[in-house]
Chains A and B, each alone.
Chain A
Amino acid sequence: MTPILDVVDIEKYYGNKGNLTKAVNHVSFQVEKGEFIGIMGPSGSGKTTLLNCISTIDSVTSGHISINNKDITALRKNALSKFRREELGFIFQDFNLLDTLTAYENIALALTIQKRKPSEIKKQVMSVAQKLDIVDVLQKYPYQMSGGQKQRVASARALVSEPSLILADEPTGALDSKSSRALLDSFERLNAEYEATILMVTHDAFTASYAKRILFIKDGRIFNELIRGNDSRKAFFNRIIEVETLLGGDSSNVL
């Protein structure tokens, strides 16, 4: 099976000669269709930069990223926009819903940008709203919704155009634990029932425990990889904590 996402030896440098920051340093990995992968790492580890590169928002210094067999590092700006709206779905920590639009319109926007037909739009919005259980809030504005509802609307927006890859950047970062759980449950369901491929960046072990595979990043490099396999979530969570302890291992030097 060809991977949905193929990251080959990418580097991302910031700054100039005198003060070079290697935010991403020789990273390679693959994501298969229907996978739910988590990327973990402490702040400053380069995980957000990595996500930005994959999501075509930022460009790599060297290396290649292929999504659905298309090398996005070779695409031009306008082609990137087209690629982004057709192949990728985004979920952000701060939801990034347009506060002037209702939930329905926010979800529909992803489709109108693709110039879909209005009749088609309605059908697709309703179907994705049912999947995420947000039919009641469709006519509400973001300021009338709870954080969990907002994030589910944002997820619906990411899903509605049926992208090959869903990118989630700290999706639970702004949610309380109950909402987080509800959101992650729906991620799990989407992944299991609809074979949605999800790449999620987080620094929260609980959130990460919902993924099937986790990449740990530190100082721009892949540090470790965990595969859930047949573990229960609880067991997987414990394994994550172990790695995290290892990751923060530098603290032994402190003491």
Chain B
Amino acid sequence: MYFKLAIQNVKKSFKDYMIYFLTLAFSICLFYSFNSFQAQQAVMELSQGQADIIDSVMLIMKILSVFVAIVLGFLVIYANNFLIKRRKKELGLYTLLGMPKNHISRILVYETFIVGLVSLIVGLLSGFFLSQLLTVITANLFEANLNYSFIFSLDAMLLTIIAFALIFLVIMIFNTLILNRYKLIDLIHAGQKNETLKIKNIYISILLFIVSLLILGYTYHYALSLGINALVHLNIIAPLGILGTVLFFMSLAGFLLRFVQSSKSLYYRKLNMFVLRQVNASINSNFLSMSIVCIMLLFSIGALATGSNLNRTINNTLLYATPYDYTYSAYIDPEHPMYAEDFTHMSEQLKLNPKDIKEEAFVHEYCSDITTKTYQKQIEALLGEPDSSFYEQSIEVIPLSEFNKLRKQYDLEPIRLKNDECYFFTSIEMLKELIDEIIAKEKELTLYGKPLRISNTDYELINLGTSSNTGTAALAVVVNDDAIPKGTPLYSVYWNVTLADSVDIQGFDDYMSTKINAYQYHQAQEVNNQPVSYSSVTSEHVKENSKGLAVIMTYIGIYLGLIFLMASAVILALQQLSQASDNKQRYLILNKLGAEKRMVNQSILFQLSIYFFMPLLLAVVHSIVGIQVVNSIVVAFGRSDLFIASLFTGGIILLIYGAYFFITYIGYKSILSKR
């Protein structure tokens, strides 16, 4: 019987349930699609590199899912609260008719179950479709081939069901608790009772507002002065930022009120006075959610902006990772030394068509008589205790002529060295600090028994050939060609090729991979019975891999950004709509006093704007600071272009947030006009 009643209730208050239901279905849909990302790769032709990247990203996705589930959980609880509030009178009636509380809560449990079940089905179904769409989009971003078939992720579905079953369980407990707290008189008079007003002292608000500005200002200053280290000190910055934000919204209404009051012509203009008082009166129940929304928007903006920025940044970086179309590189085992002459005739030995090759260039790295142990002091100071084998690594020596040729490929000016000079550099970003320290402290080094002055104070992080790694030269020294004694064994060799325009890079790579093994074998027989460990890579490979990483990071950023954006919009929308019914009485008075519809609508718009755009405004300010900090990290990947990223982020926010704002406005008006 109670189950029947519950079904009827859901049917009857369908309009009220609509918002709740949509929020639920939407969350479920997003959650499923988000997690079904794993299943997407099954229908895509991804290279090994891309597949590896996806594997590592899946782990991140799993962790993020927990986080997202918590956020969605709060969202759903919030929506549920909205519903209970609107139905207080009905619940009061049950109590009045003598229904015991545990029976009422049983009805509520059934109702939650029904709505939960329906929204789970609808959410999952729409999630299935959304994930198809996402698969297509992902494949597009990856430029991967799609063997399209309907994808379904059992994992994701189970995960979604479990997560939301937990959320519903919490809601059921929550509803029962709420019900036990209500008094009958409150339930019956729920419709008429205005929330008890606590008019706060406005001067305290102004004081708090100034304090919040000071805290925020200090936090900004602190974060900016730390730059890239700000992330390490997040345990200080985050609480301060949150405190500042909460205080800001706590005191904002009071401050605004006082501020506008100081201008009589503004304050006593149309319904301004009414709106400001209204906002000030309900700030007690709103400031916390405004703060939460602000912080969620900050996450959203950060994720969206960084996500879209990273993609561009990595694309820029690609230029530095791919100087040549094709690079063969070999690392020579010191036990079985090889020499430059062993590689000189590679192209003939591989029987390559000379017409295919536009340009070929070698970069030889020679072994030296000094090892990294020379700089033990600096290494241990900056990098900590490394593996013992690290100290056996030779400092790499590169002849000047080859180095300048390489620089030319990067469009860099050639460098000049005197006979007693050398040029110290690295192509590994992580070692930059160490090399900078060495260059600054050590003036000289002794190479092949000859003292050489370190001539440079700065250097570019350039790769010795096309490479998918972040850097090819660790601790490298460039010297004049004749400073390297004849017969010095190789440390490694890079054979860089620029192909003729007519040649297909992929085809060339395929040809090489079949030929090179035979060549390798032949060479091994001839030289020292030991195969050379080599790697070969085309610029296309590198681009593909980096692009994969960029796309996935972007994807996560935008995905999370969207969830937070929608969550915050939903929170605000629900809150305002629930207050709309509370405010009905007040607007009715305005109507009786003869306020025009247009004037009333303007005041609604004004009021909603404060609630929607104040958190957005502060979040934008927060994120400008935050992105400055994050950008200093993104810059490590290469150059970045903030302008495009901001434009993109702004556009998305305007679209989604604006849409929610508009829907809320329409809903607000319709609630007020209902009898």
Contact = CB atoms under 8 A, between A and B. Distances in A.
Interface stretch (B141-149, B265-273, B544-552, B621-629): B265-273
B590 interface: yes
Contact of A101 (B274, B592, B598): B274
Given A90-B593, A100-B197, A141-B197, A113 B270 contact: yes
A97 B589 CA distance: 8
Nearest to B586: A98
Contacts of A97: 589
A105 B199 CA distance: 15
B270 A115 contact: yes
Contact of B273 (A108, A119, A141): A108
A225 interface: no
Contacts of B278: 100
A219 interface: no
A117 B269 CA distance: 8
A111 B199 CA distance: 24
Contacts of B199: 141
A112 B586 contact: no
Contacts of B132: none
Contact of B593 (A83, A105, A110, A118): A110
A84 B270 CA distance: 16
A252 interface: no
A101 B273 contact: yes
A177 B591 CA distance: 30
A81 B597 contact: yes
Contact of A99 (B197, B269, B591): B197
Interface string A42-62: 000000000000010100000
A29 interface: no
Interface in A22-50: none
Nearest to B273: A105
A4 interface: no
A77 interface: yes
A124 B265 CA distance: 16
A118 B273 CA distance: 12
B52 interface: no
Interface centre among B264, B270, B280, B594, by most chain A C-beta atoms within 10 angstroms, is B594
Interface string B264-298: 11011111111001101100000000000000000
B593 A109 contact: yes
Contacts of A112: 268-273
A100 B599 CA distance: 19
A84 B595 CA distance: 9
A82 interface: yes
A100 B280 contact: yes
Given A101-B273, A108-B273, A112-B273, A90 B597 contact: no
A113 B271 contact: yes
Given A98-B274, A99-B197, A100-B280, A118 B264 contact: yes
B596 interface: yes
| Interface size of A as a range | 35 or more
Nearest to B269: A112
A113 B593 CA distance: 8
A84 B592 CA distance: 8
Interface residues of B, number: 29
DSSP majority for the A interface?
Answer: helix
B8 interface: no
A143 interface: yes
Contacts of B593: 84-85, 90, 109-110, 113, 157
B229 interface: no
A250 B495 CA distance: 116
B409 interface: no
Contacts, number: 85
B592 A77 contact: no
DSSP majority for the B interface?
Answer: helix
A81 B595 contact: yes
B595 A85 contact: yes
B268 A121 contact: yes
Interface in A63-105: 77-78, 81-86, 88, 90, 92, 96-101, 105
Given A98-B274, A112-B270, A82 B265 contact: no
A185 B593 CA distance: 24
Nearest to A114: B594
A118 B271 contact: no
A96 B594 CA distance: 14
Contacts of A85: 593-595
B589 A118 contact: no
A84 B596 CA distance: 10
A112 B277 CA distance: 14
A213 B281 CA distance: 43
A100 B268 contact: no
Contact of B589 (A86, A98, A105, A114): A98
Contact of B595 (A86, A92, A113, A157): A113
B344 interface: no
Interface in B185-223: 194, 197, 199
Contacts of A108: 268, 273
Interface string B224-250: 000000000000000000000000000
B273 A113 contact: no
Contact of B592 (A57, A119, A143): A57
Contacts of B272: 112
Contacts of A86: 594
A59 to B, nearest CB: 14
A113 B594 contact: yes
A141 B199 CA distance: 9
Given A78-B596, A84-B594, A101 B277 contact: yes
Interface centre among B268, B269, B274, B592, by most chain A C-beta atoms within 10 angstroms, is B268
Contacts of B271: 109, 112-113
Given A82-B596, A99-B194, A100-B278, A113 B590 contact: yes
Contacts of A143: 197
A118 B596 contact: no
Contacts of A88: 594
A28 to B, nearest CB: 25
Contacts of B267: 118
Interface string A177-213: 0000000000000000000000000000000000000
Contacts of A84: 592-594
Contacts of B277: 98, 100-101, 105
Contacts of A57: 592
A109 B594 contact: no
Contacts of B194: 99
A111 B267 CA distance: 12
A109 B599 CA distance: 13
B202 to A, nearest CB: 12
Contacts of A83: 594
Contacts of B268: 108, 111-112, 118, 121
Contacts of B596: 78, 81-82, 113
Contacts of A105: 273, 277
B597 A78 contact: yes
Contact of A82 (B197, B280, B592, B594): B594
Contacts of A55: 592
Given A78-B596, A101-B277, A119-B264, 6 more contacts: A81-B595, A88-B594, A96-B592, A99-B281, A100-B586, A109-B590
18 contacts: A81-B591, A81-B596, A90-B593, A92-B592, A96-B589, A99-B194, A99-B197, A100-B197, A100-B274, A100-B281, A101-B274, A101-B277, A108-B268, A109-B593, A113-B271, A113-B596, A118-B269, A121-B268
Sort A-B residue pairs by CB-CB distance and give the 8 closest, nearest first. A85-B594, A84-B594, A100-B277, A100-B281, A118-B268, A118-B264, A81-B596, A113-B595
